[in-house]
Amino acid sequence: MFHSILSHLMLIGVIGIGSQWFAWRFRMPAIVVMSVAGLLIGPVFGIMNPKEDFGSLFNPIISMAVAIILFEGSLNLDFREIRGLGKSVFRIITLGAFLAWILGSLTAFFVAGLSWAISFVIGGLFIVTGPTVILPLLRQAKLKPRPAAILKWEGIVVDPFGALLAVFAFEIIQFLTNESVTVEALILFFLASLFAIAVGWGCGKGIGTMFERGYVPEFLKSPIVFAVVIACFTLADEVMHETGLLAVTAMGMTLANMHIASLSDMRHFKENISVLLISGIFIMLTASLERETLMQIFDPNIIAYVILMLIVVRPLSIWLSTMNTELSFKEKALVGWIAPRGIVALTVAGYFANVLTEAGYPGASIVTPLTFALVFATVCAHGFTLGPLANKLGLSLEGKPGVVIVGGSAFSTALARVLKESGIPVLVADTSFEYLFNSRKAGVPYYRGEILSEQTEYYLDMTPYEKLIAATDRDSYNSLVCTTFVPEIGRNDLYQLSWHDDDREHPNDLVQRIGGRVLFRKGATYEELNQKVKNGYIFRKTKLTKQYSFGKYKDEREPDTLLLFILKHTGKVEFFTTEVNNFKPEPGDTIISLSPPVKEQQKIDAKLDSQRQNGKNNNGSKNGQSS
């Protein structure tokens, strides 16, 4: 049972995605969980060994998956994202990478005890951080835009150059030590690299032009992109090994900076494919390791090498390369610590371990355990420390989940003010300054611009906000906003106001397919909510206790009270919707409602009655004195 290729593919997929879910559920670095899961089913319990099971298909599967992952990551490399950071990014991916190569090679020679030849090969390889590890970490850590952009650009751009640098170092070594290797071989290497860039640019430009001119139907765009990515990678890689990664990176960057609208429509599909591939490939690589390799990791020289790479080589290369740049001390400290290695390092190291061994270089057998030791150590160290360190340095957006309210109005402003007073990050977005007048007057954070515009992605950081409310006076626009943000936020955290014509059949059917969850109750439309605010309705906060339960609150509330949301004692916000609300209000939670001003009116009436009574008493005493 479970010895066929099909069953192994099933097991890899289930364990990979299961690891992703486990990491999300318990807020752990996904790469760490996948690494442990792969080791458990591979060398620890011997359930499977993908390298042996897949045979000659193993390396092509890994290579194509890495190419697709790298292409998907490079599609996010829009130059507009690094406005004001161009100098530091350029320095890190050039001077920083060069310093990391030299320092890493020297460390490998003097500490790990490797030969000069092998030291410079793996020194070039270990400059990579890669999208397979850095992007999942950034997704979980919620960094501020500047350090997140730097780490992302470095990870994606340096990834192919690390592999090429290892190839270049090997070619130089062959040229210096092997008389059969001539200068023509070095020239061929550089020409092959230029050819790979040209192929990537040509494929990207060609696909982009076809999309812009309408030569490709929508249903074929994603399949064609993936087919061209594989063709681009294979064509370059067949000319010279490892140049395929450079080709797909060039293709992705070309497409990203053509700003084609249809590409953004495919982005979430490609991200899903990338998550699936990262999960599967990491399980395959770690499960393929031998027990002897794991035992070699505990060699004192390897441990010392890994420690120096973590605390000396990486920080020093970043600090030297970013001198006199726009980065702050805290940003340098964070970037100088974070450099997890991943799939590219493991796959290319496996290739060079075989090549160096066949070429007769002593010590080549240690390349694989050394690589895995660095990969596992950096993944664990940086995966568990990125969030806390960023939070400590003030570079994290961690905190209470925020709310974006799309549509400026009296109700939106009042709701935003209550959320802000409760310590919840909030933002009101609208295209009109007139509609934002109340928000600006109330001191509520606001954004003037079209929330659906591509430009908003670069001018408005949505990272702090985990919930969105579409609260304009147009039902169709509210649904469109919610549908657009489903991939980023998730339908459970997208809300819109009740439809104006809710008695008709189509709104209910339509809301099941598009749009967000309908807020509060049926009939709580834009006009009704704003009318209530104008009529003096009060945003009332009621704290629940053991004695004063939610059931008692519902029994005693005013009949026309509209329940808005619950502020949990943990700081989390839960909005009331027309759907079945699964959350249970507990003691310590606060109910925020929009209530008629009955109590306030009673206080006013009582005060007026008291004043009138005092007036009568005063008049009576005056009359008594005059008589």
DSSP 96: I
Nearest to 394 by CA among 149, 148, 144, 151: 144
CB-based contact 602:624 (threshold 8 Å): no
What was the pLDDT predicted at 510? 47
Dihedral-angle region of residue 483 (phi above 0 means left; psi in -120 to 50 means alpha; beta otherwise): alpha
- pLDDT over 70 at 419, yes or no: yes
d(CA 353, CA 348): 9
Q: Is residue 506's pLDDT more than 50?
A: no
With contact defined as beta carbons under 8 Å apart, do 467 and 403 qualify? yes
Q: Mean pLDDT, to the nearest integer, of 54-63?
A: 82
Task: Write a three-state SS string for 57-84.
Answer: HHHHHHHHHHHHHHHHHHCCCCHHHHCC
pLDDT band for position 78 (50/70/90)? Answer: low
Residue written as token pair 């752990």: 28
Distance between CA 354 and CA 33 in Å, rounded? 28
pLDDT at 582: 66
Structure tokens at 44: 């620890």
Distance CA 33, CA 332 (A): 28
pLDDT per position as a tens digit, 530-582: 888 888 888 888 888 888 887 887 777 777 788 888 888 777 888 888 876 66
- Mean pLDDT (whole number) for 375-383: 83
Please determine, for residue 513, whether its predicted confidence score (pLDDT) is greater than 60. no
Phi-psi region of 392 (alpha: psi -120 to 50; beta: other; left: phi over 0): alpha
Whether residue 623 is predicted with pLDDT greater than 60 in this model: the reply is: no
Q: Between the CA of residue 141 and those of 156, 190, 270, what are the distances in Å?
A: 18, 38, 21
Rounded CA separation 424/403 (Å): 7
CATH 1.20.1530.20 at 5-392, yes or no: yes
- Specify the pLDDT at position 198: 92
pLDDT class of 626 with cuts at 50, 70, 90: very low
Q: Count of CB atoms within 10 A of residue 443's CB? A: 11
Q: Report the alpha-carbon distance of residue 486 to residue 467 in Å, rounded.
A: 11
| Dihedral (CA of 125, 324, 151, 76) sign | negative
Closest CA to 141 of 31, 249, 36: 31
Global confidence as pTM: 0.65
The 10 Å Cβ neighbour count of residue 345 is 28
- Rounded CA-CA distance 372/341 in Å is 9
Count CB neighbours of 616 within 10 A: 10
Q: Order of strands, edge to edge, in the sheet holding 538-543?
A: 538-543, 590-595, 562-567, 573-575
Q: Which pLDDT belongs to residue 505?
A: 44
Interior/surface letters 17-53, b for 16+ CB within 10 angstroms, e for the rest = bebbeebeeeebbbbbbbbebbbebbbeeeebbbbeb
Q: In angstroms, rounded to a whole number, what is the distance separating the alpha carbons of residues 181 and 285?
A: 32
Residues 606-627, mean pLDDT to the nearest whole number? 55
The average pLDDT across 162-169 equals 72
Q: What is the mean pLDDT of residues 272-291?
A: 80
Q: Which of 2-16, 318-332, 383-397, 492-506 has the lowest mean pLDDT?
A: 492-506
Question: Residue 53 carries which side chain, given as an amino acid letter?
Answer: D
Cβ proximity of 317 and 334 under 8 Å: no
Q: What percent of the chain has pLDDT over 90?
A: 3
Whether residue 153 has pLDDT greater than 80 = no
For the chain, the average pLDDT equals: 78
Which pLDDT score, from 0 to 100, does residue 405 have? 87
Confidence of residue 170 (pLDDT cuts 50, 70, 90): confident
Top CATH class, 402-596: alpha beta
Phi, psi torsion values for 540, nearest 5 degrees: -105, 135
Q: How many residues does the chain have?
A: 627
